[in-house]
Structure formats: structure tokens, C-alpha cells
Chains A and B, each alone.
Chain A
Amino acid sequence: GEDVEQSLFLSVREGDSSVINCTYTDSSSTYLYWYKQEPGAGLQLLTYIFSNMDMKQDQRLTVLLNKKDKHLSLRIADTQTGDSAIYFCAESNQAGTALIFGKGTTLSVSS
């Protein structure tokens, strides 16, 4: 079945860039998402990318998609302590279907 893999932890210093990586197995993935979860809270959609795109930039966030390698990354520029959270990569292959989530990457930002 479909699978989404992420590294579990990332630690960076404030002001540095963070890059969170994700790989997925479903070649028919159409929509790819990045969500942020702070402790005890729900998930906040950060950004998404369609499979026909290679890159998307939104303020400090840059998403890169390598469809050939089924690799997705999220770059956070000028990482702040408020960015400390768990980041989930998710994919779906059809509009309106449930998302398949990775296990989440815990980002720790030290000052």
C-alpha cells in the first residue's frame, strides 16, 4: 500500500535554514502537503503542492518536489523558535480522499 516516510528528528539553531525531507511510494500521488502540529493541538496546513509542480515558495517556506524520485522537501528559511513543532508530510491521489501521513519530523530550534 501507500507509504510516506520521514526522518524523525531535526535540530537546528535559530536563524539557520531547516530542511525536512519526505519520500512517498504512491506514484499516482496528486497532492502533497505539509502540516505543522504544535503540542496538544490539531494540524495546521502549511502548504501543498500539486504533482505537476516542481517548486512552490510561500514566504519562508519552499517546497521542492522530485516526482521521479518521489521525494518532497520543506525548507524553512530563517528558522525561529516558534517553528519548533512536528511537521507531517502527507499525500493523496485523488481529490476528496483521506490523506496518508508520514510519522512526522520533530523540529527543535535552539536559540
Chain B
Amino acid sequence: GAVVSQHPSWVICKSGTSVKIECRSLDFQATTMFWYRQFPKQSLMLMATSNEGSKATYEQGVEKDKFLINHASLTLSTLTVTSAHPEDSSFYICSAGDRARGYGYTFGSGTRLTVV
């Protein structure tokens, strides 16, 4: 079945530095990639939607200059948390879909970001 590889699984970084999270679709073309953030014991909050070759669409309240999304190819999307602060510590999950399929999205295994 469809697999999305997300790296790193966890990362600890110093406040003020930037962190890049990668998601790769391994056996299908991810025309659309969704980036979510999940706080402990809470649901997934959609941050942004990106279509291959287009600029990402950010949800209200999500700073696009802080959370840079690149979806330059059909198999790779990246989320860069710039100038990270402790309040950015969270679990980030990507989800890839093939628009042609339309049902079911494949999720990455998530990245636990801790900013110290």
C-alpha cells in the first residue's frame, strides 16, 4: 500500500534555530500534501495544504513566514520551522494524497519537535 516516509522522527533544537521536516511518498505521487500539528491528547490541527508546484495555502492563524512549506516534486514536501521557539514544540504530521484517488490519505509517522 501507499507509504509516506517522514523524517526525522524526533528532533531537539535550540531556540532560534530552524528545523526541516521531510515527507516523501514512496510508491505513489503525492499531488497534495497536508501538514498537521498535534498537541498532547488533542486532535490534529491543519496547518497548511500544498499542491505540487504551487504555493501552500495556510490556515488562519498559521504564520507562513514561520512555517515554510515546499512541495517542489510529486514525492517530496518539506516543512521548515524557522527561528523555532519553545511554543513551537509539538508533534508534526504530514499527510499525502493522490487527487485522482480521492479517498483515504496516507500519513507519515510524525515528527516530535522539542525546542529548548
Q: Smallest distance from the beta carbon of B70 to chain A beta carbons, Å? A: 18
Interface residues in A, total, Cβ within 8 A: 20
Task: Tell me whether A45 is interfacial, beta carbon within 8 Å.
Answer: yes
CA–CA, A41 and B111, complex, Å = 9
Chain B positions within 8 Å of A95 at CB level: 99, 101-103
Chain A residues 73 to 111 lying within 8 A of chain B, measured CB to CB, are 88, 95-96, 98-99, 101-104
A33 within 8 A of B: yes
Distance in Å from the Cβ of A108 to the closest Cβ of chain B?
14
Name the contact of A104 in the complex, choosing from B34, B43, B95, B106 (C-beta under 8 A): B43
* Whole-angstrom CA separation of A21 from B64 in the bound complex: 35
Identify which of residues 23-45 in chain B touch chain A, using a CB-to-CB cut-off of 8 Å: 31-32, 34, 42-44
| CB atoms of B107 and A43 under 8 A apart | yes
